[in-house]
């Protein structure tokens, strides 16, 4: 009995779990759950599916080259029972697991920190751009300071003009309404 790895998502398959597919050339494919089995039947490429180990490994999200992986080796040759050897290997397994976990955590931390640094740089660049734009706007305002009162004057006059003109228009309309087609008829 051994812990197999899923052909699709490369997670562990414990005895009594998952499903095995044996191709007509006698190659076995083991799957941890129906999700992986279905994905395999749909001929999905595990390197292109984001939740698989293959994707994570090919995109630098997992620890790849490490000396702790060298201990994991498939061995089909039976080993004669030796109590001391068993005790030693079990102790070694625990210790190796500890070391690997520590290294993986460090790897994740460094990866996330690098991403955070990139994000921070982007935000800072955005802020700097905004500030420079604001400064430019203020400088332009300062330059336009002399013309400001004139502009306001103009505005007032235009508003007044508009009011007057609208009043005129209204009166004209009223006049038109009061005098329908009588003058034209006379012509």
Q: Which positions touch Zn ion (CB under 5 A)?
A: 6, 8-9, 32, 36
Shortest gap between Cβ of 11 and Zn ion (angstroms)? 5
Shortest gap between Cβ of 24 and Zn ion (angstroms)? 23
24 token code pair: 């007509």
Q: Which of 67, 47, 66 is nearest to 57 (CA)?
A: 47
Question: What pairs with residue 19 in β-bridges?
Answer: 31
For residue 131, the surrounding DSSP H or E stretch is helix 83-143
Shortest gap between Cβ of 66 and Zn ion (angstroms)? 22
Output 6 or 63, the one with its CB closest to Zn ion.
6
C-beta neighbour count of 46 within 10 angstroms? 19
Evaluated on CA atoms 46, 51, 52, 58, the torsion sign reads: positive
Output 8 or 63, the one with its CB closest to Zn ion.
8
Shortest gap between Cβ of 33 and Zn ion (angstroms)? 6
Check: CB of residue 16 under 8 Å from CB of residue 32.
no
Output 9 or 63, the one with its CB closest to Zn ion.
9
Output 32 or 63, the one with its CB closest to Zn ion.
32
């Amino acid at each position: 009995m051994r812990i197999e790895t899923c052909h699709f998502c490369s997670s562990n398959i414990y005895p009594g779990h998952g499903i095995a597919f044996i191709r007509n050339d006698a190659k076995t494919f083991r799957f941890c759950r129906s999700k992986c089995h279905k994905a395999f039947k749909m001929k999905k490429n595990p390197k292109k599916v984001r939740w698989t180990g293959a994707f994570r490994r090919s995109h630098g999200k997992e620890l790849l080259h490490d000396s702790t992986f060298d201990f994991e080796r498939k061995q089909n040759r039976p080993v004669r029972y030796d109590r001391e050897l068993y005790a030693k290997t079990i102790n070694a397994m625990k210790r190796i697991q500890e070391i690997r976990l520590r290294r993986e955590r460090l790897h994740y931390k460094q990866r996330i920190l690098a991403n955070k640094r990139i994000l921070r740089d982007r935000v800072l660049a955005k802020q700097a751009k905004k500030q420079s734009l604001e400064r430019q706007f203020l400088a332009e305002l300062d330059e336009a300071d002399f013309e400001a009162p004139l502009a306001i004057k103009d505005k007032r006059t235009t508003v007044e003009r508009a009011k007057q003109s609208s009043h005129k228009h209204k009166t004209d309309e009223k006049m038109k309404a009061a005098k329908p087609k009588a003058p034209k008829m006379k012509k």
